Amino acid sequence: MSAENVTDVRVLAHRAGISLVGESPAFLELLRSVERIARHGGATVLIRGETGTGKEIIARAIHYLGARRDFPFVPVNCGALPDTLAENELFGHRAGAFTGATDESIGLLRLAHRGTLFLDEVDALPPKTQVALLRFLQDGSFRPLGASREEKADVRIVAASNRCLKEEVRANRFRADLYFRLNLIALEVPPLRERAGDVRVLSDHFLRECARRYRLPDKYLNDGSLVCLGDYAWPGNVRELENLIHRAYLLCDDEQLKISMPETSPAPAKVQAQDGDLHSLSYRTAKSRALQEFDRNYLTQLIQRASGNVTRAAQLAGKERRALGKLLKRYGIGYANDGDGVGAS
């Protein structure tokens, strides 16, 4: 897709109220994928990405750039659905289906008829609801609670997760057959640390949005702040950057903003409190905990210095890359998969 086509994608998305902001090669490649996927209005899509990368924005773009744009886009956070109500929320119920069900509920699937149902945090669906969703993906049929016959709905399913669903399948927390159905088209949203130059572009965009929203003068970041923003690893991704810019805009009265980067390592007072607690433990246990705390703090700061690049981090630490990758995974510290397949899922 040419630069003109990328511009067309942005224009169409903007008309639908969606801002697709970024100029990095990784983000432009994502837009090319979105444009291609949007053409195929019936295909199921699985979006993978870290927290705060903008998975719902991408899902909305897929919907509004495709043939279903004139019909509903219905988002649901599966993690917010109680296990006992998840199936009811998605598929609805008939009056009298259970105690207290005095009225019929049509469910989110029927609300999304001819449109798109976006299932965020799809890995949080309880097992029984996973079975019902699998049935719908197989033939478009579902049975509302208390209904005597199945119904049909024409709905595109776009699912998203910040977890590695392959790992969830291996851990028996997610159905393998459902994973394969959802993974017909897979789309990876890159973390902000892999979008070279987009921190500056996004910062300018968020500053303009703040000025428009609050009807206040334009503000800009000083050079020092831009350098700090570019060096930061952004574990919270675009959402973290947006919140930081928003806060700085509101709290600073000057036209030029100077941003102090968020604290990412444990505060000294917290470390001291933990050290104090060690005296009540046996020597062996206390030593083990102290070493684990050192490892966690050291690795967190190391991967931030390397901007999420594990190869660079291994060079800084004087360790073999694969061994460092295993340590990072052990402590749950995210990083960029930049070479041989060892990466945080």
What is the torsion angle, in degrees rounded to the nearest 10, for the CA atoms of residue 279, residue 284, residue 289 and residue 294? 100
**pLDDT tens profile 2-52:** 556 677 788 888 888 899 999 999 999 999 999 999 988 889 999 999 999
Name every residue whose Cβ is closer than 8 Å to that of residue 210 and which is 6 or more positions away in sequence. 216, 219, 245, 246, 249, 250
- Domains of the chain (ranges; CATH) run 3-190 (3.40.50.300), 196-257 (1.10.8.60), 268-330 (1.10.10)
Whether residue 193 is predicted with pLDDT greater than 60 in this model: the reply is yes
Spatial contact of 117 and 108, defined as CB atoms under 8 Å apart:
yes
Whether residue 158 is predicted with pLDDT greater than 90 in this model: the reply is yes
Helix segments in 19-100, DSSP class H: 25-39, 55-64, 86-91
Average pLDDT over residues 57-74: 96
Q: How far is CA 92 from CA 95, 129, 169, 328, in A?
A: 10, 12, 27, 43
pLDDT at site 287: 64
Whether residue 262 is predicted with pLDDT greater than 80 in this model: the reply is no
The residue count for the chain: 345
Would you give the DSSP letter of residue 40?
-
**pLDDT tens profile 101-154:** 667 888 999 999 999 999 999 999 999 999 999 999 999 999 888 777 889 999
**pLDDT tens profile 290-306:** 777 788 888 888 888 87
**CA 167 from chain center: how many Å?**
17
Spatial contact of 195 and 24, defined as CB atoms under 8 Å apart:
yes
pLDDT at site 227: 87
User: What percent of the chain has a predicted confidence (pLDDT) above 90?
Assistant: 56
User: What percent of the chain has a predicted confidence (pLDDT) above 70?
Assistant: 85
Whether residue 217 is predicted with pLDDT greater than 70 in this model: the reply is yes
pLDDT at site 3: 59
Average pLDDT over residues 160-171: 93
Whether residue 267 is predicted with pLDDT greater than 80 in this model: the reply is no
Name the pLDDT band for 94 (thresholds 50, 70, 90). Answer: confident
**Rg of the chain over all Cα atoms, to the nearest angstrom:** 23
Name the pLDDT band for 277 (thresholds 50, 70, 90). Answer: low
Name the pLDDT band for 181 (thresholds 50, 70, 90). Answer: very high
pTM over 0.95: no
Angle at 199 between CA 195 and CA 202, to 5 degrees: 110
pLDDT at site 25: 94
pLDDT at site 175: 97
